[in-house]
Structure 1
């Protein structure tokens, strides 16, 4: 229950069920035809790690936590050292930056980065970090770190190949939302990703940052309740922004309307976002005042 007597939308439901999602009559996929090209490449491991460090290959922040245990991660590294084939990765080109977004393969890529950096699954502000020493592998590699591998083994790992498939939308130029739909389809297995989770990955920028910021506003938290694990609260704020600016041009489905707004305003100027956030917070303040006034009158 929120402070204003509104039942929390997720308090009684499992994580996958969120009340108030897209209306049933809005769930149909819009009829849009895309021209999407794809190409394969075979980058070397050392090059992949270098690009991860530079940020030219990016792992979406919402993607599931790193779940591999040390033996699983070690066997992946061992496979590369032995010259065995490993599953490929799937990337998509961001329209505005040209950087590559990881759609499938983040466990493998994080494992590589951890091994090269020397620490297994390090956490921010962690005082003690676990050294990434290979475990439960062949005796020649048991207990080895990247630095303690012999030169021949390091060179073999550096030059090992991981196949990458990269996709990029060519048209339509006015509706560059195919990346969202590609992400949705490739991540249909396992835990279902909700619309706003995918938007954070695909359209991350100043708009997404502002949604996160205003989502902490005290009167919004009092009205909505506890933060949504599936980002429903942030999606509602996005709806407010989009309908406030573009309600005259709204067309179903709502999800696609929000996708187009998020794409167009992905890196909106800060003064515009502050203006929208101020309007949103002012509305919340009015609602809070009305509620408190009515609550006082009811207790008299």
Structure 2
């Protein structure tokens, strides 16, 4: 009789190796800032809130409750910053909404509402407090954890995702926009405005605001350039790729034109050969997996056989992209495991090559 594996048996050495592999080398120090000083630093730009955190806005009752917590002396969670040693300025990693709320309250922009303890303050502003209470408020200390620029970008991203206390978590593309500005991401933002792409993908305004178009385009190039480094984690893969490509395009700016032309070539192909685009049946919004199975698969085909696009017909596209097999591949569970991703990216390529490459 086959022996069952004891579920209580664990490989401690294996666990230690995994912890060692993922352990972050983070250089930081802890300091206290008065609320008055923090607000002043935000106003003069010594503390900046990255773009990807600015849209995750607390509503007024939540802001009011936070101010109430400060007034009655409840502990305030640590703020996390990353400090650029060249300028001395700091980016907020976690605490953007707290800082914004403090600034709005002190500057008279916030009227308190729906307070449950300090009910007499409902409808009041900062100036409605006694001057002595305002001074006490401004002098309240808040502890900050300051990461040095020895802390790499990936660790900062990881910290933001794990520590963020906002009501809405930023999408990966929004975070890349904040942390990875550079020539490649500028190219991605430019291509996100491409009229043909927007017509084919039909991405909603709401998703556009969450940088969904930029997510599509980043994956378009990252996956087509090779999956050797992909390990079932899209966020890390696209983050590392964007960081690498920023540096490459910084050193070889002319390469951006090639990437731009490649993208437009593939969009023009679909406009001519399959104009209903990446949306199933030409309706609704394109899913990421369907876009990958269509646009990126054709791009991979084009990179391997540049002349093949002229041979592929509208009927070829119908036969491939409307087949039951493709629909299943483009909408399967576990979509981002490497095996499923590989199948999705190469399905159309294999079908087109089978017909036109001898």
Question: Residue in 2 aligned with 1:62?
Answer: 52
| Separation in 2, partners of 1:139, 1:294 | 70
Question: Residue in 2 aligned with 1:162?
Answer: 142
| Separation in 2, partners of 1:30, 1:233 | 36
Are residue 219 (structure 1) and residue 210 (structure 2) matched? no
| Separation in 2, partners of 1:52, 1:262 | 28
Gaps of at least 5 residues in structure 1 are 1-27, 121-131
SS in 2 for 1:216: coil
| Separation in 1, partners of 2:177, 2:24 | 22
Question: Residue in 2 aligned with 1:114?
Answer: 104
Are the equivalent residues in 2 in contact too, given 1:250–1:257 (CA < 8 A)?
no
Task: Give 1:44 shift.
Answer: 0.8
Cα deviation 1:92-138 (Å, max 9, x = unaligned): 34688664333332332221121123223xxxxxxxxxxx3577464
Q: Map residues 182-261 of structure 1 onto 2, 5 A cutoff.
A: 182-187=159-164, 194-205=171-182, 207-227=184-204, 228=207, 231-242=211-222, 247=225, 250-253=228-231, 255-261=235-241
Gaps of at least 5 residues in structure 2 are 1-17, 276-311, 318-358
Are the equivalent residues in 1 in contact too, given 2:52–2:170 (CA < 8 A)?
no
CA RMSD of aligned residues (A): 4.1
Question: Residue in 2 aligned with 1:47?
Answer: 37
Question: Residue in 2 aligned with 1:103?
Answer: 93
SS in 2 for 1:179: helix
Quickly say closer, same or farther: Cα 1:221–1:48, change in 2 above 3 A. same
| Separation in 2, partners of 1:84, 1:33 | 32
| Separation in 1, partners of 2:165, 2:65 | 26
TM-score normalized with structure 2 length: 0.56
Cα deviation 1:240-297 (Å, max 9, x = unaligned): 44467xx379422354342223224558659558623344224322332333595599
Quickly say closer, same or farther: Cα 1:138–1:297, change in 2 above 3 A. closer
Are the equivalent residues in 1 in contact too, given 2:203–2:213 (CA < 8 A)?
no
Structure 1, 37-46 or 227-236: larger mean CA deviation: 227-236
Task: Give 1:142 shift.
Answer: 5.6
Are the equivalent residues in 2 in contact too, given 1:34–1:169 (CA < 8 A)?
no
Question: Residue in 2 aligned with 1:16?
Answer: none
Query: Which one of the candidate residues 277, 284, 287 is aligned to 2:267?
Result: 284
| Separation in 1, partners of 2:57, 2:166 | 17
Task: Give 1:226 shift.
Answer: 1.6
Task: Give 1:214 shift.
Answer: 1.7
Structure 1, 221-230 or 48-57: larger mean CA deviation: 221-230
Quickly say closer, same or farther: Cα 1:57–1:222, change in 2 above 3 A. same
Quickly say closer, same or farther: Cα 1:168–1:296, change in 2 above 3 A. same
SS in 2 for 1:213: helix
Quickly say closer, same or farther: Cα 1:48–1:205, change in 2 above 3 A. farther
| Separation in 2, partners of 1:182, 1:69 | 26
- Number of aligned residue pairs: give it: 254
TM-score normalized with structure 1 length: 0.65
| Separation in 2, partners of 1:76, 1:115 | 11
| Separation in 2, partners of 1:260, 1:95 | 23
Cα deviation 1:116-166 (Å, max 9, x = unaligned): 23223xxxxxxxxxxx35774648756543345433222222211111223
Question: Residue in 1 aligned with 2:133?
Answer: 153
Structure 1, 59-68 or 46-55: larger mean CA deviation: 59-68
| Separation in 2, partners of 1:46, 1:288 | 56
The structure whose residues are more often helix, as a share, is 2
| Separation in 1, partners of 2:75, 2:194 | 50
SS in 1 for 2:59: coil
| Separation in 2, partners of 1:180, 1:77 | 28
